[in-house]
Structure 1
Amino acid sequence: MADDKYPTDSDRRRFVKGVVGGAALSGVLTVGAAAVSSATDPTEAGGGIMEYRSAVRDLGPAPRGLPQIPIEIDDDGYLQGLWPEPETVTAGGQEVVVSETEIAGTEYTTEWYQYCGVQTFEGIAPDADGQDAYFRYPEALPTSEYPWMEEVEGREQINVEQFADYEQWGNEVGDTGVGKPAVATWRSQDVPPEETVPVIIIRSTQVEEAAQEDEWLAETCPQGFIAYLNKCTHFCCVPGYKRLDEAAEYNAENKIYCNCHQSVYDPFNNEPDTFVSLPRPEGE
């Protein structure tokens, strides 16, 4: 179908054959999702059309864009994803805990991350114990793509100083100076590996320029930083930015590219998007 933006030069049959393997991967990455579906009654609180901000999907079978994570920077230069103070509200006749706030006229809620089973992860619960909002380096670093990350001393939380060369940074993929990336984890301290929340962070002059014209970006992308939940909305794979040479075949060498089924997201084209959110399970 023309409107799914699937690459015209890709073999559609290859995609169909890949569904079996992709579904297996999705099952690994969405532990607990089936339980949520079976426990969720459409008549309960929540659910319906939700607007969020995303990296626009340019190409491929992914149904929607990658959800953005608003960034805050503390006084010591450490980056964290905004996590509004949890509060208990009454919705649909029941009390539920939510984490939400308004930013530049947009309702930001942690329910933006309702896909691939992420909504069932321990750290994504609004009132999760033992979790803070700082971005941290993952235990396994992508040294072949971003070798600079391995060179960071005292590696744990991600700091602004580690991106000082963002206007000149480059690797063997795409153009130099487009944006310096890092992979990170978020709200994933002391959780099972399958519940780690992966994040892609980019610091770029393009983000700085866009923030001058967009109040939302001005509030959520300080000092040229932007972050997205790094799970493809198609089959929950983990895509990459400036990571693979083959991305150039899909004009994605300077974009976020998922090599599993060639979905492409533009991190510098950030727009409102919508999805159908899940109602909250009874008693949650």
Structure 2
Amino acid sequence: MSADDKYPEESGRRRFVKGVVGGSALAGVGAVGTVTVNSATASPGSGGGTTQAWAIQNTAGPAPRGMPQIPLEVDDEGYVKGIWPDVETVSQGGRQVQVAEMDLGGSTYTSEWFQYCGVEGYQGIQPGYESDNYFRSDSAPPYDWQSSSKEQGDRFHVDDFDDYTEWGNGIGTAGVGKPATGTWRSQDAEDVIPVQVLRSPRIEEAAQNDEWLQASTDQGFIAWLNKCTHFCCVPGYKQSDSAARFGGADGVYCQCHQSVYDPFSIVQTLFTARPRPD
């Protein structure tokens, strides 16, 4: 076993990317690499195929790419909501199908960004699913501030994050951003789409001279689909003391296999999106 084939030595685990059942279904590479063909895309369904998305960067561990960013906005009342692409009906393969796609910040934003890890089969990812698109608090948030002030299903408001330039919970550095865990497009749906929301002065600063971030973030808020691109676990921002051992104290850390993501580094990633089932 070569040293390159291991997790960080502290974990004592192997990477187990190749040759594991399900590994090909999560195959993907960075924007500068080549696409690994995903055999799952040959199944019947809508959409899927080579997709370029904006994502929070994967910086360590076995995850093949970053987790896709969810563009967002703050409404006139101060509530935070995700942006869903425009929906239209097009002809694909001799049949009429709905697609969700739009130009945003100089990039093509599409629902295919979220079509991996089985999420492509969730009701909320269907282009025409009716939703108000607000981010809502989940049932068991890991942050004391959220568990004490939000009920399941409550929308997030800017006032919930008014201490975002000072907030800390003893993990990593205080003052880099205030997080929340929640759901998106999951009201009245059987499957829940997990998301992470973060308000950070670093995002505010980065958006000043970045066309994409100006269009996809608002008042320092950023969000992403919180499904690890390795084996579909749900990572966490500042949720684990052990994150520091793997360089993730101020990042998003997946305890399952020690993948780490940087929510302050938004990069383009190329991967093979899976088709939505009919």
What TM-score do you get using the length of structure 2 for normalisation? Answer: 0.85
Whole-angstrom CA distance in 2 between matches of 1:244 and 1:273: 26
Q: Is the 8 A contact 2:6 2:13 kept in 1?
A: no
Q: Point out where structure 2 has 5 or more consecutive residues left out of the alignment.
A: 26-38
How many angstroms does 1:201 deviate by? Answer: 0.6
Partner of 1:72: 73
Partner of 2:54: 53
Question: Residue 86 of structure 2 aligns to a residue in which SS?
Answer: coil
Question: Residue 265 of structure 2 aligns to a residue in which SS?
Answer: strand
How many angstroms does 1:278 deviate by? Answer: 3.0
Give runs of aligned pairs for residues 147-186 of structure 1, distance below 5 A: 147-152=144-149, 156-186=154-184
How many angstroms does 1:174 deviate by? Answer: 0.5
How many angstroms does 1:250 deviate by? Answer: 0.9
Partner of 2:43: 40
1:95 aligns with 2:92: no
Cα distance per residue 1:209-250 (max 9 Å; x no partner): 111121100111110010000111111111000111100001
Q: Is the 8 A contact 1:45 1:94 kept in 2?
A: no
How many angstroms does 1:191 deviate by? Answer: 2.3
The alignment's C-alpha RMSD in Å is: 2.8
Distance 1:87 1:184, change over 3 A: same
1:269 aligns with 2:265: yes
Q: Aligned letter for 1:160?
A: V
Q: Is the 8 A contact 2:115 2:276 kept in 1?
A: no
Whole-angstrom CA distance in 2 between matches of 1:230 and 1:278: 17
Q: Is the 8 A contact 1:47 1:276 kept in 2?
A: yes
How many angstroms does 1:190 deviate by? Answer: 1.9
Q: Is the 8 A contact 1:5 1:60 kept in 2?
A: no
Whole-angstrom CA distance in 2 between matches of 1:70 and 1:188: 17
Whole-angstrom CA distance in 1 between matches of 2:86 and 2:103: 12
Partner of 1:117: 118
Question: Residue 188 of structure 1 aligns to a residue in which SS?
Answer: coil
Question: Residue 151 of structure 1 aligns to a residue in which SS?
Answer: helix
Of 177, 201, 220, 1:224 maps to 220
Whole-angstrom CA distance in 2 between matches of 1:257 and 1:45: 32
Q: Is the 8 A contact 2:79 2:158 kept in 1?
A: yes
Whole-angstrom CA distance in 2 between matches of 1:234 and 1:4: 15
Q: Aligned letter for 2:132?
A: D
Distance 1:280 1:4, change over 3 A: farther
Partner of 1:30: none
Instruction: Name the one with the larger helix percent.
Output: 1
Whole-angstrom CA distance in 1 between matches of 2:156 and 2:5: 36
Q: Aligned letter for 1:119?
A: E
How many angstroms does 1:87 deviate by? Answer: 1.1
Question: Residue 53 of structure 1 aligns to a residue in which SS?
Answer: strand
How many angstroms does 1:94 deviate by? Answer: 2.2
What TM-score do you get using the length of structure 1 for normalisation? Answer: 0.83
Question: Residue 218 of structure 1 aligns to a residue in which SS?
Answer: helix
Question: Residue 89 of structure 2 aligns to a residue in which SS?
Answer: strand
How many angstroms does 1:151 deviate by? Answer: 2.8
Q: Aligned letter for 1:254?
A: D
Partner of 2:33: none
Q: Is the 8 A contact 1:5 1:61 kept in 2?
A: no
How many angstroms does 1:259 deviate by? Answer: 0.6
Q: Is the 8 A contact 1:199 1:228 kept in 2?
A: yes
Distance 1:280 1:161, change over 3 A: closer
How many angstroms does 1:37 deviate by? Answer: 4.8
Provide the aligned length of Structure 1 versus Structure 2.
Answer: 260
How many angstroms does 1:95 deviate by? Answer: 1.4
Whole-angstrom CA distance in 2 between matches of 1:163 and 1:6: 35
